[in-house]
Amino acid sequence: MSEVLLELNHLEKRFPLEAGLFARYGRFVYAVNDVSIKLHRGESYGLVGESGCGKTTLARLAIQMYKQDGGEILYHGRNSGSLKLSELNRKELFNYRTKVKYVFQDPARSLNPRMTIYKILTAGYRQSPHWPGEQNAREEAAEMMRTVGLNPDDLDRRPSDFSGGQRQRVSIARALIMKPELLICDEVVSALDVSIQSQILNLLLELKEKFKLTMLFIAHDLTVTSYLCDRIGVMYRGRIMEEAAAQDLVQHRFHPYTRLLYDSIPSRMNRDMNLSGFEPFDSTRALKGCPFYHRCGSRTEKCHNRPPMEDLKEDHLTACYHPCQ
């Protein structure tokens, strides 16, 4: 295994409920609850789970759009040494964000409709000490447009002139123009047609190889993620339920939630899905036991205690007292 680029150690993040009847009691929604992940240089790590499981929150912690309530994040850059993100000042955080770039789910909202594509691509670049000047920057922007499969003659057009898939390519180009080490892709294909999804996935594979990228890929579709990624972590209610090499996870789904997630793919919906004993749960309560307890048909009293992440086979971690066989 290659060297570690980014470490997420025992991360926690909770959000206070908005003002209302219970606000004075300090009630919180627990979005990330004691999560640890290591991203190795050059790998693609997939984080999958249903909406609201905490995967986007975890990604935004990694780029410090949110500050964690517990745990720490360590970045081991080529030229920066080891950085503890919670200790970075404003300038150091800016430099970190030139090496770690984020591609958002909805390009229509993340691209300024009043700016030309050229200005969008170079807006962050202009604030960098590595700004090459107007002429060189325009040449780099044109080359990046070619790299993501767009016409460089369109640099002076605006986002509204492009389709959804093309706008996502612009978002990817914006992230890559400063040559980052880590690319975070947050549900970048979920809003696209299936045919366009495959094009964007293939583009990401090409770009990963071309730029020697490390990638954190966030999605809710296990099969899409396994196509792109080397390793996958399955997240539910703020915790990692299972983690393994991508193809191993698809073939051997030990955690009941991983099986449920796989069987919920539309092409597989005719399969029996074991949701026996479903009970409502309170997302404002910090869980001490298994977070999947209320939806699991195999639960026992033992599951009131938090199951540890254990190797059921080599490099295949599962947090379950009653894993599927």
pLDDT of 19 higher than 80: no
The answer to the question of residue 324 being in a domain is no
Three-state secondary-structure class, residue 310: strand
Instruction: Give 87-124 pLDDT, tens digit per residue.
Output: 999 999 999 999 999 999 988 889 999 999 999 999 98
What CATH number should be reported for the domain holding residue 31?
Answer: 3.40.50.300
> Is residue 88 in some structural domain?
yes
What confidence category does residue 127 fall into, taking pLDDT thresholds of 50, 70 and 90? confident
How far apart, in whole angstroms, are the C-alpha atoms of residue 244 and residue 316? Answer: 4
pLDDT tens digits for range 38-68: 999 999 999 999 999 999 999 999 999 999 9
pLDDT, tens digit (0-9, with 9 covering 90-100), for 291-321: 998 888 889 999 999 999 999 888 999 999 9
Contact present, 23 and 17 (Cβ < 8 Å): yes
Interatomic CA distance for residues 239 and 237, integer angstroms:
6
- What string of DSSP letters covers 25-66? GT-EEEEEEEEEEEEETT-EEEEE--TTSSHHHHHHHHTTSS
Assess if residue 203 is contained within a domain: yes
**Is the residue at 17 inside a domain?**
yes
Share of the chain above pLDDT 70, in %: 90
In whole angstroms, what is the distance from residue 243 CA to residue 309 CA? 9
Cβ 265 vs Cβ 238: under 8 Å: no
Range of the domain at 266: 4-318
* Residue 119 neighbours by CB under 8 Å, 6+ apart: none
Residue 78 has pLDDT above 70, yes or no: yes
Give per-residue pLDDT as tens, 255-283: 999 999 998 776 544 444 444 444 444 55
204 lies in a domain?
A: yes
Place of tokens 């880590």: 182
> What pLDDT is recorded for position 25?
57
Question: Per the domain annotation, does 86 fall within a domain?
Answer: yes
Q: Which comes out higher in pLDDT, residue 125 or 78?
A: 125
Query: Rounded CA gap, 125 and 134, in Å?
Result: 11
User: Considering the entire predicted model, what is its pTM?
Assistant: 0.90
Domains: count for the chain: 1
- Among the ranges 133-137, 147-151, 270-274, 311-315, which has the highest mean pLDDT value? 147-151
Q: Which residues contact 308 (CB under 8 A, 6 or more apart)?
A: 319
DSSP reduced 3-state for 198: helix
> Which residue did the predictor score with more confidence, 60 or 81?
60
β pairing state of 231-236 and 44-48: parallel
Closest CA to 130 of 65, 89, 179, 198: 179
Region label for 164, one of left (φ > 0), alpha (ψ between -120 and 50) or beta (otherwise)? alpha
DSSP string across 74-112: EEEETTTEEEEGGG--HHHHHHHHHHEEEE-S-HHHHS-
Query: What integer is the mean pLDDT of 126-131?
Result: 84
Average pLDDT score, the chain: 89
Average pLDDT on 134-161 reads 96
Amino acid, single-letter form, for residue 255: H
